[in-house]
Amino acid sequence: MQTAIHYHTREEYLTLEATSQEKHEFYHGEIFAMAGGTFRHSRIKINLIASLHLKLRGKSCQLTDSDMRIGTPSGLMTYPDVAIFCGQPELIDNQRTLLNPVVIIEVLSPSTRGYDQGDKFRLYRSIVTFREYLLIDSECVHLQQFHRSAIHEWILHEYTDLTEIIYLSSIDESLSLAEIYENIDFT
């Protein structure tokens, strides 16, 4: 026997999020609990935030971490590991949902890899301001950078060597894989 799926309204989801200890993703009436990350996942995210914070100091672009919810025109409400917006933030839901990220960064876990690379990326692409997507592997040195080159066209660059430099043209900054994977042990 199949269990019936209970669909929630956006308002029900926002009420749950306002009182919950855990974060949840929302899409088309379904609410999904978001799992925590591994030690490497956390360290990679901290390395990213530390490096990008220094690079963006005094500029018009700013960082948010996984405490800031992103809302998409496609209906997805989620918490990426890192996002960058430029200019004024477009916020709704009592300043708890950002609508205008330019860069979104996800640190991949074995359990979320396929979703982050597939359906989640497709849903993120409905955001008009969205220009660059970084997927950073937490199991090995591997980074995928997707850069929007036209309305429905994305270019993929892959990086696997700690000496490589990633140029984020949407914010005119560079990051090295060495910065991202600093003090990460894969043994």
Q: Identify whether 43 is part of a domain.
A: yes
Q: Identify whether 135 is part of a domain.
A: yes
Q: Is 180 within 8 Å of 143 (Cβ atoms)?
A: yes
Q: Identify whether 160 is part of a domain.
A: yes
Q: Identify whether 144 is part of a domain.
A: yes
Q: Look-up: residue for tokens 């994977």?
A: 181
Q: Identify whether 13 is part of a domain.
A: no
Domain that holds residue 97: 37-180
Q: Identify whether 28 is part of a domain.
A: no
Q: How many domains does the chain have?
A: 1
Q: Look-up: residue for tokens 């949407």?
A: 170
Q: 108 burial class (0-12, 13-18, 19+ CB within 10 angstroms)? A: buried
CATH number at residue 73: 3.90.1570.10
Q: Identify whether 156 is part of a domain.
A: yes
Encoded tokens for 181: 């994977």
Q: Identify whether 87 is part of a domain.
A: yes
Q: What is the pLDDT along the chain (187 residues), one digit of tens a residue?
A: 566 677 878 887 877 778 888 887 777 777 777 777 889 999 999 999 999 999 999 999 999 999 999 999 999 999 999 999 999 999 999 999 999 999 999 999 888 888 899 999 999 999 999 999 999 999 999 999 999 999 899 999 999 999 999 999 999 999 999 999 999 999 8
Distance CA 2, CA 83 (A): 38
